[in-house]
Amino acid sequence: MKVKTKAYAKINLLLDIEGLRTDGYHELFMIMQSVSAADTVTVEKVRGGGIGVTCNVEGIPCDESNIVYKCAREFFRYNRITRYGINIDINKRIPHAAGLAGGSADGAGTLVALNELYGTELSADELCEIGLKVGSDIPFCIVGGTKLAQGRGEVLSKVKPLRKCYIVLAKPEISVSTGKAYAAFDEFGKSRTPDKLGMLCAVQSRDLRAVCDKLDNVFEQFIEVPARVDIKQVMRDNGALGACMSGSGPTVFGIFENKDDAENAAAELKTFVKDVLVTTPVSKGVKICK
Ligand code: C5P
């Protein structure tokens, strides 16, 4: 018996860090959007006990440190299931350590698949509660679509869906540690606060151009990504309505109304950026493949 899921990547249309919390995490205000770049996560019941992890990409740890392993362990604890034997296979397409929540998406895919495989009928809220024990972005990755995310990232509010568009993702070859990125915020602080109200108004009026005018991410103020300026320039030269970094980086995304423009930008970006993908917004975090 196995269940296969598509676990979607996310971008941050806006990301503000509002301060340091007493629990050591940071208080966030983010407008999140799921995009069509996805990993496939397949969970299968197997003979013998325990949790096995396999992955098509070298360098991803397939042990207890993997987010999918931790999510499965928390799922079984929550449901008081003590006898289990599963394998979780991850087929990675989302660039990792990229600011696209690839690992969190895999965790979300695992939880949704396990809920189906074991017939536990947990609600989305319950799955999010389990996911939050493992990572701050997992609740959003379970729910997906377009959301306002606050708190650690788990307090999700419904906002209007983004209009149809094309989103080009360009990930330069450097990796950014999320923990270190937040530590840099603690050290340097921010010099400017994104226009959160302006972005919310733009989102709620479904005005794509206004959304693109308000794209902003405080991490850009203190995380150095040498290729960022050039990537944004190529995106704009090819007709992007706006461009911004996602999460703690280094991925830069550009939003286009026109598919040909997006593809032309992607072709030019591929000459100097390793991972480039043309995506569209999606309304879910995880899809069960039938
Ligand atoms: O929750 P998650 O394990 O994905 O977070 C990775 C790191 O990012 C945390 O160890 C913490 O340093 C930082 N973080 C934070 N505030 C948040 C989310 C993450 O400081 N709201």
Pocket test for ligand 1, best of 10, 12, 25 (most atoms within 8 A of CB): 25
**Residue of 88, 94, 90, 108 whose CA lies nearest to 38:** 94
| Whether residue 49 has pLDDT greater than 90 | no
269: tokens are 């970006």
Q: How far is CA 90 from the centre of its chain?
A: 16
Residue 127 Cβ inside 6 Å of ligand 1? The answer reads no
Give residue 180 CA to ligand 1 midpoint distance, Å. Answer: 9
Sheet with 166-171, side-by-side order of all strands = 242-245, 252-256, 166-171, 275-279
Residue 25 Cβ inside 6 Å of ligand 1? The answer reads yes
Give residue 179 CA to ligand 1 midpoint distance, Å. Answer: 6
Question: What is the residue with the minimal CA distance to atom 9 of ligand 1?
Answer: 179
Place of tokens 């008081």: 80
* Alpha carbon distances (Å) from 91 to 58, 102, 202, 214, 253: 11, 11, 36, 34, 23
Q: What are phi and psi of 88, to 5 degrees?
A: -115, 115
pTM to 2 decimal places: 0.97
Tell me the average pLDDT across 104-126.
98
User: Which has the minimum average pLDDT: 185-189, 205-209, 256-260?
Assistant: 185-189
pLDDT-derived band of residue 260, with 50, 70 and 90 as boundaries?
A: very high
Pocket test for ligand 1, best of 10, 15, 26 (most atoms within 8 A of CB): 26
CA distance 55 to 277: 20
Residue 33 Cβ inside 6 Å of ligand 1? The answer reads no
pLDDT-derived band of residue 182, with 50, 70 and 90 as boundaries?
A: very high
For 178, the 3-state DSSP assignment is helix
Q: CB–CB of 162/173 below 8 Å?
A: no
Query: Is residue 287 annotated as part of the catalytic site, yes or no?
Result: no
Residue 133 Cβ inside 6 Å of ligand 1? The answer reads no
Tell me the average pLDDT across 214-218.
98
Place of tokens 């603690």: 186
pLDDT attached to residue 90: 98
Residue from 10, 70, 92, 232 carrying the catalytic annotation:
10
| Whether residue 290 has pLDDT greater than 90 | no
What is the rounded average pLDDT for all residues in the chain? Answer: 96
CA distance 95 to 97: 7
Q: What is the dihedral of CA 56, 62, 68, 69, to 10 degrees?
A: 150
| Whether residue 129 has pLDDT greater than 90 | yes
Residue 85, beta-bridge partner list: 50
| Whether residue 101 has pLDDT greater than 90 | yes
Q: At 62, which helix (H) or strand (E)?
A: none
pLDDT-derived band of residue 59, with 50, 70 and 90 as boundaries?
A: confident
